[in-house]
Amino acid sequence: MSRLRIIMVLALILIAGNGFAQKKSDPVVFFKSNMHCGDCEKSLFEHLRFEKGVKDLHLDHVSNTIKVIYAEKRTGEEALKKAVEKKGYTAEKISEKEYSELVGKAKKEPAVHSGQHQH
């Protein structure tokens, strides 16, 4: 084989090897909250998306759930909980399983709210 082919094969091996390297995933925290409507969800989303360290958010007022993916070096679960509470909502930490169950249940049932708003 020519030198060029050997170099190309080695380069491909290195590139492929990097693609399979395990990247440490960012931590995720799940909360059960008390959002009452789409406006609550939007307001809390807008507040949380600018919190230091927040990388991704999923809020759902129907299931009253919050999923936050964050940078561990910039924030933590307690700071995120306080940020939710600062906006006037509850933030009860739940497991990923509980989160999935609440979201799944909300998708199957029609939304029923008490009509009490916290705006």
Average pLDDT over residues 55-76: 95
- Per-residue pLDDT band for 71 (boundaries 50, 70, 90) equals very high
pLDDT at 21: 46
Tens digit of each residue's pLDDT (9 = 90 or more) over 13-24: 666 655 554 457
**Structural domains in the chain?**
20-108 (3.30.70.100)
In the prediction, which pLDDT does 22 show? 43
Taking residue 61's Cβ as centre, other Cβ atoms within 10 Å add up to 22
**Section 59-87 average pLDDT:** 96
The pTM of this model reads 0.73
Please enumerate in sequence order all residues whose Cβ is within 8 A of that of 64, keeping only pairs 6 or more positions apart, or say none: 32, 33, 34, 35, 102
pLDDT category of residue 3 using cuts at 50, 70 and 90 = confident
Q: Is residue 58 over pLDDT 80?
A: yes
Handedness of CA 48, 91, 88, 80 (dihedral sign): negative
Residue 54 confidence (pLDDT) above 80: yes
DSSP the chain: --HHHHHHHHHHHHHHHHHTSPPPPPPEEEEE----SHHHHHHHHHHHTTSTTEEEEEEETTTTEEEEEE-TTT--HHHHHHHHHHTT---EEE-HHHHHHHHHHHHHS-----S----
Please check the confidence at residue 50 and state whether its pLDDT lies above 90: yes
Please write the tens of the pLDDT for every residue from 75-111.
Answer: 999 999 999 999 999 999 999 999 999 999 988 876 5
Q: Per-residue DSSP letters for 59-76?
A: EETTTTEEEEEE-TTT--
